[in-house]
Structure 1
Amino acid sequence: MCGRYTLTISLEEMMLRFMIEQTSVPYHQPRYNIAPTQLVMAVVNDGTSNRLGELKWGLVPPWADDPKIGSKMLNARAETAPDKPAFREAIRRKRCLIPADSFYEWQVRPDGTKQPMRIRLRNGEPFAMAGLYETWISPDGSKLSTCTVLTTSPNELMAPIHNRMPVLLHPRDEQLWLDRSIRDPQRLQPLFAPFDASLMDAYPVSPAVGSVRNDSPALIEPLEAAR
């Protein structure tokens, strides 16, 4: 799964990297421990241009009786999303990019304890995780916009760490993912292949990342430096 990640670049860098023409976000500060149920940056396409906004992490389907269901919809398996009631409409009509520059996963040690690992691109560049979004309308008419991160099978780097990883999109595929004219999930299947492991690296970080209260540059330092 994907349950924590980072986004440390500036708003200006994000807009340039993801070809953003419009944004409702006036300010962004570096975030080193983005967690479920928080507001996260997301890129959508309105049919003409890319727009940047905020969505709550944890997808709430339009038919849900209770928005608390979102806490169970943090991730969607790419292999089965087209068939799941919570995701099948979103994967056809409401796809988004979730910008990040690393994500965390917890690796089980031989003694059963867990070591948090930071996974990123070797070149340090930001990337896009494939996401889905929905809008839920409450009985009083208020709207809640939410999202989920798609996951896939692990590549060679991730396999010793966890049995799933987020779907990372190559920059060349980002506009295809956002293309609202594509409604057939089969056309998107090639995008779900595990990202090239040779372009990624991973290293242990401080256990402090386990607490959502912690959000500082120290969290992304290699463990040796954090001690």
Structure 2
Amino acid sequence: MPRTYHLDAPADAIGRALGADAQGDVWQGGTVVPTGYAPVVIGGKEGARLVPRQWGVPPPPRGEHVVTHVRNIGSPFWIGTLRHTEFRCLVPATHFAGSGKTWLAVPSMPIFAFAGIWRDSEVPSFAILTTEGRMPVGSESSSATMPVILHPRDYRAWLHQDWKQAQRLVAPFPAQLLRNLGG
């Protein structure tokens, strides 16, 4: 699971790549770290649009730290959010950190999207879904999990389909489609 990721593209390019209205977002690109702000794509009646959110949703009861990754999609804490399409989002990225000093990218998609959820509490925030890890050969990763990377054909489904259909998208991305950028 990424401890950090890069989104090295301006908001208008992100909007074009993910089929969203950039709505004047000022993102110019850079590194995203937990509790940092980054754009995400949310759906809605007026169409997909780019909005700024903080990476890390408030913790569950008795939790102490913001939650940057959703691992257990069957958890009662997450299932309500996942069942409501208005709380699912696309988290755009250009590459992400694996374990160690490994950076990974998707060569066929210069800008790709992680499956995410968002919440509007005191601070509008988001988290990235993870699944079992399948890292490419030659990566230094020993991670048991990796972010859920969506294929472009699945962006609309993640944002709009009923949870019974959308949950099939929570699956490992084919390792052969990832490229190890090194450290």
- Into which bin does the TM-score normalised by the smaller protein fall? 0.7 to 0.9
The equivalent of 1:28 in structure 2 is 27
Q: Which amino acid aligns with 2:28?
A: Q
2:99–2:140 Cα contact (<8 Å) kept: no
Structure 1 ranges of 4+ moved more than 6 A: none
The equivalent of 2:81 in structure 1 is 90
RMSD of aligned alpha carbons: 2.2
Task: Number of aligned residue pairs: give it.
Answer: 179
Q: Which amino acid aligns with 1:74?
A: T
Other structure's SS at 2:9 match: coil
Q: Which amino acid aligns with 1:7?
A: L
> How far apart in 1 are the matches of 2:135 and 2:35?
30
Q: Does 1:203 align with 2:181?
A: yes
Q: Larger deviation: 95-104 or 192-201?
A: 192-201
Q: 1:22: how far off?
A: 5.1
Q: Which amino acid aligns with 2:19?
A: M
Q: Which amino acid aligns with 1:148?
A: A
Other structure's SS at 2:79 match: coil
Runs of 5+ unmatched residues, structure 2: none
Bigger Rg, structure 1 or 2: 1
The 5-angstrom pairing of residues 74-153 of structure 1 reads 74-77=68-71, 80-85=72-77, 87-93=78-84, 94-107=87-100, 116-123=101-108, 125-136=110-121, 143-153=122-132
Q: Which amino acid aligns with 1:103?
A: F
Q: 1:21: how far off?
A: 2.6
- TM-score normalised according to structure 1 size: 0.71
- TM-score normalised according to structure 2 size: 0.87
> How far apart in 1 are the matches of 2:6 and 2:144?
20
> How far apart in 1 are the matches of 2:131 and 2:157?
18
Cα deviation digits, residues 111-154 of structure 1 (max 9, x gap) = xxxxx111001235110000001111xxxxxx421110000011
1:43–1:98 Cα contact (<8 Å) kept: yes
Q: 1:16: how far off?
A: 0.8
The equivalent of 1:191 in structure 2 is 169
Identical columns (%): 25
1:122–1:201 Cα contact (<8 Å) kept: yes
Q: Does 1:5 align with 2:5?
A: yes
Cα deviation digits, residues 190-218 of structure 1 (max 9, x gap) = 2112111111111322xxxxxxxxxxxxx
Q: 1:96: how far off?
A: 0.2
